Structure 1
Amino acid sequence: MSAREDSVREAGGLGQDTGKCTRGNGRLPAGDATRIPALPHLPYGDAVHAGLAASGIAPDVVEAGVRTEQLGDGGELFLTVSWLTGHPDVDDPGGLDLLWSDLTGWTARAGGDVRVLALDDLAAPDVVADAALHLATDGLDGAWMPPDGPHRWEHAPAVEAALADWDDREAIR
């Protein structure tokens, strides 16, 4: 045992068996102290990513998070799905971004152009993939019609409930 571990143990920060236990000293267990609440849109982001990959147009980058730009604002949950400059599946040399927000729904960005997409806020991943395939080859100006079948993700109600719970929790912070 190192001198540092000895001094930390004497101060009550390490348990005897594992070197990390805080049981019995009034401190939160490390797992509870460091637990980060899951973002409610992550299952949707995972499903969209899987749908894109299954359609043969896997993105280079998928980001998910929360923007908290205004103090007191609960934030904006977002997904960014990006095909970087020079991606072989994207005709626009500047790449392509699909952007989702719990506040604004789906938009697409290629170069300096942005277009709101006619997609359900929680569109089925295969519908998002169909739109991405169209945008990758025809750009933002081409007309796109969603495929036949359900356009809303089958698990949308669960995500909507999680989003509402998130909004409620963030409102009291």
Structure 2
Amino acid sequence: MADPMNPSTGGQQQQKYRQYNPYHGQINLPYRQIYELPTSPEFLYEEEATKKRLTWGENLTFFTGCGYVTGSVLGAAKGAIEGIRAAERGESLKIRTNRILNSGGLVGRRGGNCLGSLGLIFAAMESGVTYLRDGDDGSMTTGIAGLATGVLYRAASGPRSAVVAGVLGGVTAFAAVAGRRMVKRFVPI
């Protein structure tokens, strides 16, 4: 007897039988859409899609928060290393642990406050410069904001220190803009 599922057995029997699909023509499952995801960002409201940049409040919160967290983590790591180096011979484990935690917490708080205040000043300066330049939010705006942030942050230390900090802030801001462009160019996100 010829096998209906094997095409090499009989040609006539092969046409008699076909595989039964109970969903044929009734359900159209768009399974390919699961794997073909859009590359553009999706927004909940249309107003979000038209917005090109963060508001001044979002900008302020973002830069201040990122600065504080980054400064705290880096400062805590530096303080922990200092605490490990300052350990004396013959100290118990509890005293060494306490020294490391105290040193890490002290330097972490200082670093967090330092970078958090820099982020706050930078966000305020960038929003102000953007407003003064009639909404032009380019790399020049970021560079001017970085320069003004450095000058304002170190203004109490004297004019020479303020100028050096301003140049350092401007160079850092331009480097951040260039780095962001490089990331956008070479990393498809």
Normalising by structure 1, we get a TM-score of 0.28
Who wins on radius of gyration, i.e. which is larger?
2
Question: Which structure shows the higher helix fraction?
Answer: 2
Higher strand share: 1
TM-score (norm 2): 0.26
